[in-house]
Chain A
Amino acid sequence: MNAVAVDGVWKFYGDYPALRDVKLEAAAGTCLALIGRNGAGKTTLLRILGGFSRPGRGSVRICGAAPRDTATRRRIGFIGHGISVYDELSAIENLTLFARLYGLREPRKAATEWLERTGLDRVAGGLVREFSRGMRQRLAVARAFLHDPSVLLLDEPFTALDDRAIAVLQRLLREGLAEGKTIVMSTHQLREALELATDVALLNRGKVAFSGPRTPEMVADPGFLYARYGEG
């Protein structure tokens, strides 16, 4: 069974089809890099996979179930454009809050552990609004990984990250892949993404222009896919 299966998905904003008959699959333990120009439909697809919106037509299955099922939501870790943590709360309060919402047995312990893993343990009690941008982003990474999700949906995860946050994220993603987690990430940072990806899908104006395993040519020349299938 595929960890992520997208079958014939259409999404309309008014009359405009943001996604057109998208078919994609990602097996467990693989990393699918979604690439494409701005407006290609990457974020729309990720938001449907995450259960934030519903497809107009077609179906999406995460580990064989609908994305909005409660059990499925426990399996998904999501990093979107925002950091999705509260400025008015401290780092430990934020993570404890989400640990409680995900029903973890020892929320405080899990929060402390993830603050250590992302190098934020020294500022655990500090309010997020006082954090630097890099620290906020590491906290967002900790929030997404906190409940040990088996499917990670990452929307432009490397954008605007500082070097330390990129290193933390790449390490966590590698460890996740080794543990059998499935990663679907949209990105414009092709070099970082292709180093990690096992599969690549190129979206062009809402349609899948290419989908297949990552090849050495793609790593050697990140523009290869755009040149070959890009504006078609």
Chain B
Amino acid sequence: MDFFRQVMVIAAKDLRAELRTKEAINGSLAFALVILLLFAFAFDPTGDTTREISGGLLWIVFAFAGTLILNRSFARELPNDCLDALIAAPISGAALFLGKAIANYCLLLAVELVSLPVFGIFYNVRWTQRFPELMLVLLLGTWALTVLGTMTSALTVNIRLREVMLPLLTYPILVPALMGAMRLTMELIAGTPINSENVMWLKMLIGFDVIYTAVSLVLVETILVG
């Protein structure tokens, strides 16, 4: 019980601080919308092309826009040495990590939920045909990005080039999850339901989430304290 209370205290603190400054979410949202707009003008895609590139385009936008949020996650603790106060507090590294991951998850989902309708308008796509399944993929794919990105944020917090290192470390490991999310998103936007042919991608996404969440929870204490 204590663990979950600590997780929620950390998540609420991060969300409150972010909503006061809006430094990460504004940048991330603006970035996502600009990329969607630029692609729409650059390629003027037809209906078929849009359906083919939808998964890739959306998840590339989410992944790149997401790093702007994830980079701030632990870096937010550096001014005033706030990370020291959190490490000194009697909470487990896992609670600290999970609290931060939940806050990042909420912020990433907010950016994605604004980006999706914008994508629908710019690209003239009825993206709501398979809405519940698309939301499931969005939730699973975003958690994969969040858990890995939050972990990398902890890993790179004390290095000078963390803004560069976070995407360099995150994206290569994220490839399987991104592939699954892209493929499923493309099919769901095209109106294909989740079936026996594409369900393996869903299973892979779930597996990725479970494995990397468990690994992160086990390793975070060592990463933060050494």
Contact = CB atoms under 8 A, between A and B. Distances in A.
A224 interface: no
A51 interface: yes
A85 B90 contact: no
Nearest to A140: B80
A82 interface: yes
Contact of B90 (A70, A80, A82, A93): A70
Contacts of B6: 100-101
A78 interface: yes
Contacts of B84: 50, 52, 78, 80, 82, 84
B88 A76 contact: yes
B82 interface: yes
A84 B81 CA distance: 5
Given A70-B90, A82-B80, A86-B80, A101 B9 contact: yes
A87 B79 CA distance: 8
Interface residues of B, number: 25
Contact of A52 (B13, B16, B87, B91): B87
Interface string B74-97: 000001111011111111100000
Interface string B2-15: 10011001100100
B8 to A, nearest CB: 9
A53 interface: yes
B80 A103 contact: no
Interface string A89-106: 100010001101111000
Contact of B225 (A51, A76, A143): A51
- Judged by DSSP, the binding face of A is loop
Contacts of B16: 88-89, 93
A53 B89 CA distance: 14
A126 B40 CA distance: 45
A100 B21 contact: no
B2 A103 contact: yes
Contact of A101 (B20, B21, B81, B89): B89
A73 B85 contact: no
Nearest to B10: A101
A155 to B, nearest CB: 10
B13 A97 contact: yes
Contacts of A127: 20
Given A74-B90, A102-B90, A82 B17 contact: no
Contact of B80 (A53, A74, A85): A85
A54 B225 contact: yes
A124 B226 CA distance: 36
Contacts of A50: 84, 88
Contacts of B90: 70-71, 73-74, 101-103
5 contacts: A54-B225, A78-B84, A89-B16, A100-B9, A101-B9
Interface of B: 2, 5-6, 9-10, 13, 16-17, 20-21, 79-82, 84-92, 225-226
Given A51-B225, A52-B87, A86-B82, 18 more contacts: A70-B90, A70-B92, A73-B88, A78-B85, A82-B79, A84-B80, A84-B82, A85-B82, A86-B80, A87-B80, A88-B16, A97-B9, A98-B85, A100-B6, A101-B10, A101-B90, A102-B89, A127-B20
